[in-house]
Amino acid sequence: KRIVVLISGSGSNLQALIDATASGRIDGRIVAVISNRPGVLGLERAQKAGIRAELLDHKAFDSREAFDSALQALIDSHEPDLVVLAGFMRILTTEFVSHYLGRMFNIHPSLLPRYKGLNTHQRALEAGDTEHGCTVHFVTPELDGGPLVVQAVVPVATDDDASRLQQRVHECEHRIYPLAVEWFCADRLQLLQEGVTLDGALL
Ligand code: GRF
């Protein structure tokens, strides 16, 4: 399978995916990494792994629609089977999302449907949650709202602050993202009208 990864930052999830493809655990190849921000560590990680690293700076575009359509053209030039959003900090147009329906994943640092959007760790702490975590989901037009594929749960300690909690969640992200991509590349996952199936069974 051909995989394109979109990033905006450090790319530690990208690194987890690079490692899982290199080890053969994921039956697929990352054919390109695209960042909307220049100079980020994730682009360096791609280059170091011998993966094509491309920059498409959203600031060079007048509108969200113009950026998304250029991004779609760039992604499609790589003919991907799967598009992976790995810390890609952009809201996407419905048209863009619809084009990749059933073949685009996102990872979000909360136990969705809780805490869509930003500052998830702080919000979990403020709510007094005893459990927090992360979620891989198929991307649909609703922000952080697509059908869930896999979640990891971490305990919240009474003396946690947002940064410690974030670190614990991040470690889990690096476990579940390769797992979801592994399933997808083995043709085990599908997005259907009724929801997500793994090995034919509804999740
Ligand atoms: C992760 O916490 C992800 O859940 C969020 O952005 C962060 C990306 O981290 N959407 P990294 O760039 O993969 O290190």
Pair 55, 35: CB distance under 8 Å = yes
Q: Is 119 known to sit in a ligand binding site?
A: no
ipTM of this predicted structure: 0.95
Nearest CA to ligand 1 atom 12: 11
- Kindly report the backbone phi and psi dihedral angles of residue 90, in degrees, each rounded to the nearest multiple of 5, phi listed first: -135, 140
Q: Is 13 known to sit in a ligand binding site?
A: yes
Over range 50-61, report the average pLDDT: 98
Centre a 10 Å sphere on the Cβ of residue 24 and count the other Cβ atoms it contains.
7
CA of 125 to the centre of ligand 1 (A): 19
Pair 125, 156: CB distance under 8 Å = yes
Residue 19's domain is classified under what CATH number? 3.40.50.170
From residue 151, alpha-carbon distances to 74, 111, 200 in Å are 30, 7, 19
Q: How many domains does one find in the chain? A: 1
Instruction: Note the pLDDT tens digit of each residue in 67-108.
Output: 999 999 999 999 999 999 999 999 999 999 999 999 999 999
Tell me the whole-structure pTM to 2 decimals: 0.97
Owning domain of residue 15? 2-202
CA of 4 to the centre of ligand 1 (A): 16
Q: How far apart are CA 19 and CA 25, in angstroms?
A: 9
- Please indicate whether residue 99 is annotated as part of the active site: no
